[in-house]
Structure formats: C-alpha cells, structure tokens
Structure 1
C-alpha cells in the first residue's frame, strides 16, 4: 500500500464518518426531542458492580461511550493523516484499521433510537454483526500491528495481512450467535461467548504489548518503549469503553484511551522521525 493510496483512503474514510456523524446526531436529537429514545431499564450487566453512586447502571454513560469511540476514530484518523502524511510507518495502517473498528461502535447509538431490541429483524442483525465485526477487526489489527511492525520488511505484507484480517473478522462476526432475549447494559447486542471474547482480547493485547516492548528493548529505542506503553493503555481504554455501563467505567475508559493514544502516536512519530 503506497503513501498516496493510504492518504486518499484516510480522506475517504473521514468523509464517510463525518456524514455518518451528521445523520446519527440529527436522528439522536430528534429521538430525544420526540421522546422516542428507548431507554432499557431491565438489562444484563456483564460485570456486577456495586449499585451505588457512579458504579450503578447508567444508560447515558453506555451510549456516551459509543459516541466517544466514534469521535475518537475521526479525530485520530485526522491526526494520522496530518502527522504521518509523508511517513511510511508500518504501524499506521493497522492503527487506522483499529480506528475503523472504533467507528463501527457508532451503530450502538442507533439501537435505542430505532428500538431494534424488541424484535429479531434484519436491521437488528445488521447492527449486531457490524458491531461484532468492528470489535474483531480492532483487536486483530492491534495484534497484527505488534507482530508485523517489528519487521522492517513488514510493509510488503500490508495488502495480504489486511485481507486476512477483514476475512477473519467477517467470518467470526457472522458465525457468533446473537442473544435476542437479554439487553446488555452497555447499549449493544448480546452475543455468545462474550466473556470468552473479552478474556481473549485481553490476552491478545498483553501478548502484543510484550512483543512490542521486547522489540523496543532489542533496538534500544526509548521512544518505541514509550509508544508500547501507550499502546497498552489505549487498548485497555478501548476494551473498557466497549463494555461501559457506568459513569466510573466511562471516565476510566475515556482517560485511558486518550492518554494512551497521545503517548503512542507522539512517541511513534518521534521514533520514525529520528530513525
């Protein structure tokens, strides 16, 4: 994948996301104004937190996390375009893939707007599969970035690795069963093996962090070591926000995602500039 193609792809993605944000924002405000926004009261919490103060279930914290992830994807893509426009960094294309996964969390906003939880419709399936696809593609891109970016010749595997990631994410999203009976507290779609998915995601992230950090130590780069730490923090923030159903989780996830991303991109940019 050439720099020119990558930069054009970023601009196209940004245009699509801006349009999606405008349409979603208008419909969301309209749903609130007309009292058509469905706010579930009986939900299933994946993690039983104390039902006190900021730990209790909060619908707007859950829906807010999807807004944060969507806005994050837009802002981060723009930052990548502006700061890595002339840099052939192997990590960026996979990071953009991660951002696409974050953007697909925006479909969670439409669930209460259209109240698709009430029936097993085609729209419900589309939103559910899209959200699952986004989560799989986000984790797979982060893991692949850790594996291939340490190889200086990894750039030649851009196209093939991205095709494999997309195919694997699509296969997983279409085979995983959906639970239509219970409404999850994170304003999403409940699916089978959810706890197993979270555990595997955490294992993949930790393994990826160790891989990147060891590589940073081997090449003796402080910037890359700091970038690896930022990678771990932003990944933790992402996982928290995908499962957010309380104010505490919303704040922790948002802070971790933003601070981790700043540390990751800032030090990655310095590493490639001085390399």
Structure 2
C-alpha cells in the first residue's frame, strides 16, 4: 500500500465515521425531543444487583453515551493521524487503522436502539452481533501484529498481514456461537462460551504487551515501557467502553482510551521523528 493510498483510505474512514456520529446524534436527539425514546428491552446486567448507587447501575443512556464516545473518538483520531502522520511510512499506522476499523464495526450496533431493532429484526441483530465480535477481534489482532511484524519488511508485509487479520476476524466471528435468547445491555446477542472468548482476547493482549517490551530491549528503543503501558490502556479502555452499561464504566473506559491513545500515538510519533 502506497502512502497516498493509505492517506486516501484514512480520509474516507475519518469522514465516514464523522458522518455516522453526526447522523446518529441528530436522530437520537430528534427521537428524544419527540418523546419517542428508543426502546431498550435489553437484559439488565448483574451489576445492578450488586450496586445500590445509580452511578454504578446499568443504564440505557450510559450504554448510548459509551457508543457516542466511541463514534466521536474515531474521526478525531483519524484526522489526528492525517495531520501528524501524513508523510510517515510506518507499518504501525496500518495496524492502528485496522484497530480503528474494528472499533467502527463495534459501533454499528448504534442502529439497534435508534431504529428499535429489538423485535422482528432477528437476522439484523445476529448480523450486528457478529459484526461486533469481528470488530473486537480485528482490534485485538491488529495491534498484536505490531511487535512481531512492524520491523520486518514493514510496508509489504503489513498489507499481507492486514488481509490475514480481516479474514481471520470475519471467519471466527461467523462461526462463533450466539445465544439469541439474551440481548445484552450493549445491544448485541450474548456470545456462546464467553469465558473462552475472554481468555483468547486477554491472552493476545498480554502477549502483545510482553512482546512490545522484548522488542524494545532488543532494538534499544527508548520509552518502550511507556509504549507497552499505553497500549494496555488503549486496548482495555476500548474493550470497557465497547460494552459499558453504567456511567462508572463509561467514564473509566473513556479515561483509559483517551490516555492510552494519547501516549501511544505520542510515543510512536517521537520514534519516527528521530528515526
């Protein structure tokens, strides 16, 4: 992928995500002021039974807020990349763009509450649920490739790896069992064998963080611990915000995502600035 092609795709992604955010927000505001609050017949999470404070309880508007934060994060980060990395040829940026694409796919479930897809649209709900899981896999796998492949034949290898990541994420999400009897607070059907999926997800995250530190020591890169730590904040923040159903989780996920994203891109920019 040439630098021009990458920037063109990043432009398309940034404007598309910005358009989705504006249209979704406008539709939600219109429904709210017309007293047509989107239906929310989702299953309340267990957190409501454990906490008496409203701040920690499951809330429909907290779930909506977390989605809008993700939708706002996407174009802001996309335009930031265009401004600060427009002339930087780095494989890490390709993988990071895939990470953003994964978050975009997860955010498409905003259509469920906006268009009341809870009843009579089972096929669409299944599709959006699988899209959500493929987005999560895409986000985790894309950053997993950074410490292993970004130094070896970066540009050519990154294109091949990007295709592999997309294919693997789509195939795994397609064969992933889904419990259509339970609609969670994140507006998707509950996944089958959630413990197995969590083990796989957090194992990849742990391996990535360790590999980043090892790579830094081998190549004498400075601030590698900050880079690895910012990666953990970034990916964990996106996961929390992607399924947040309370204001507490919404705030926690937003803070982790913003701080991790800031230090992650700042460290990456400094590395290529002095390379």
Q: Tell me if both proteins adopt one fold, taking TM over 0.5 as the criterion.
A: yes
* Counterpart residue number, 1:22: 22
Aligned partner of residue 181 in structure 1, secondary structure = strand
TM-score using structure 1 length: 0.92
* Counterpart residue number, 1:122: 123
Deviations 1:155-181 (A, max 9, x none): 221221111111111111211122221
Whole-Å separation in 2 of the counterparts to 1:36 and 1:246: 18
- Describe how 1:31-70 pairs up with structure 2 within 5 A: 31-34=31-34, 35-40=36-41, 42-45=43-46, 50-53=50-53, 54-70=55-71
Deviation for aligned residue 1:250 = 1.0
Whole-Å separation in 2 of the counterparts to 1:157 and 1:7: 18
Whole-Å separation in 1 of the counterparts to 2:27 and 2:48: 32
Consecutive unaligned residues in structure 2, runs of 5 or more: none
Q: Does 1:216 align with 2:216?
A: yes
Q: Is the 8 A contact 1:117 1:180 kept in 2?
A: no
Q: Is the 8 A contact 1:44 1:182 kept in 2?
A: no
- Describe how 1:85-234 pairs up with structure 2 within 5 A: 85-149=86-150, 151-234=151-234
Q: Is the 8 A contact 2:176 2:191 kept in 1?
A: yes
Deviation for aligned residue 1:110 = 1.5
Deviation for aligned residue 1:32 = 2.1
Whole-Å separation in 2 of the counterparts to 1:220 and 1:166: 32
TM-score using structure 2 length: 0.92
Change beyond 3 A, Cα 1:31–1:188: farther
Q: Is the 8 A contact 2:18 2:72 kept in 1?
A: no
Whole-Å separation in 2 of the counterparts to 1:155 and 1:224: 22
Q: Is the 8 A contact 1:240 1:249 kept in 2?
A: yes
* Counterpart residue number, 1:270: 270
Whole-Å separation in 1 of the counterparts to 2:30 and 2:197: 35
Alignment RMSD (CA, Å): 1.9
Deviates more, 1:139-148 or 1:182-191: 182-191
Q: Does 1:84 align with 2:69?
A: no
Q: Is the 8 A contact 2:227 2:267 kept in 1?
A: yes
Aligned partner of residue 116 in structure 1, secondary structure = coil
Consecutive unaligned residues in structure 1, runs of 5 or more: none
Deviations 1:14-46 (A, max 9, x none): 12222222322222223323314112364344x
Structure 1 ranges of 4+ moved more than 4 A? none
Whole-Å separation in 2 of the counterparts to 1:49 and 1:260: 31
* Counterpart residue number, 2:249: 249
